[in-house]
Structure 1
């Protein structure tokens, strides 16, 4: 089954699409660019939906954009897709058959249709009563009924052509085949590059089937300029970092956060909310010295190394939850920053009572950036 953090579409994805469209269609009116962005986003989501007819795909997509992306300002996940599909007419056998096929693909298991139908009806009734985490309940049922482990199915990405170096010691043995292989590799490279360009173009090419109503297309881009409510400067926005370098740095601090699930939970929160991952780690450095393994309470502190809701003692949750809350808090208190005011100092006024908090976080952040390499 898909992992909890396997996102179909994140606010970062929307931001990248928007930047691409603005650059590609710079001369185009703003409302037309907004249509292209919304259309591209809708078709990315539609590619991950069950094989419904187009009308139903548009209905589910519009619901996901309205509730998950705009209202909740969260990434679209397989969980959201499944729960949105529960709002369809499950008395329609075609709907259930398509959903049955999609769950089979997600789980990699052949599911008995009658048993699946019974379970689906139960979950649909729970959805009507407002029960949450229905996808988790389905996974638990699958695990008990079919004894399968969780499997992750990530959303498709644009293909990349990566040259593979040939070891010098192998060159003599390859000489008899060099001409033939050169021709074959050249053709394959051309095909891969062509496919990549065609796929990228197809995502962003305006489609005659746009979201309904049309007003949604124009309001969507305005509502999602990046991550809604994110007023952080560029230097505090998300960027990929080299995980190996980050782990090395954290290990040098004897940090429990170098281990899982803490490492990925913080990075995933940073990606989701468009915050520099090293900035979030710098906060843990200031708050809890990166949670040294030698601390007898390390396992508990690591659940909330940001000290959200006062401290890890008062609010001991999970690292996924505390990283999400810390990220939302950073975005909340970064708003309406006066011109010329240091962004971290501006966050300090509400995040921490200690007025030296900003100085400590800034120094740790700068130190981490100098030691943790950015991925290419």
Structure 2
């Protein structure tokens, strides 16, 4: 059984640091809202594939109980506990939840769960537990990592974020969420990840196994360069622009997908950055970062294109392609949102 936490205070810390760095110009309250929304979506991605209403209800209760009240990580057992406690409507509706729950459990377990075992677990009888009782009561030695974790969980920052997150889940409807995203989009450049998406990719992604839109195609280079130069991007110039196009063609990857990744990773490398020339050598942050692996644009673009081609070839049916690539390419759970948004934006500019 995979006992990794679905969401931990350390995950919250990673998201918080990313947002506070990426969106430094925004007011504190706005950044906290972005962090809270990202945490909510990160948890929802790791829950069983239940209908939206049920998944939202689960996320709301898990955040309230685990993160806010008990200030601890969210475990798979918490999901089953809540599924046994919440009201799910009619018996027929409850039975409809069984299949996605079973699939989710068996993905996380070495042994196979049966419908009978699941029903027993939900009724809190003698079904198997995801965490062995002995492990639950065993006191592990306090390590430096644990001390840091406890210190962070007790911090005022975590409490503020958790409280804001809970309030957002409790009161936010789809309309309110869209309004908040629109407000954030008024801030130039830094807020692009949170502008409501167009349907360029989402409609294509709905077709099971249809990901041809990720493959190489000719683009309107002048239009893309004009957009990037409007952002004072060094990548709009040679040899950077041409090297990315060349690698995309070599590995049959859409050039705009590669450019979108550089936009997410390094904002297309603004010339005003004092390290612009070094960053432009590895704007994809392959092998962790441009600082750790400062090669040249030909090499980094080739590595990135090869990886994206491999990931794109293995996307499961009905899986969002950007979220699928996110799992391997980046630890940041917001990466897929940013790349998708930038890809859609660049695609809308492309006239070919």
TM-score (norm 2): 0.40
Larger radius of gyration: 1
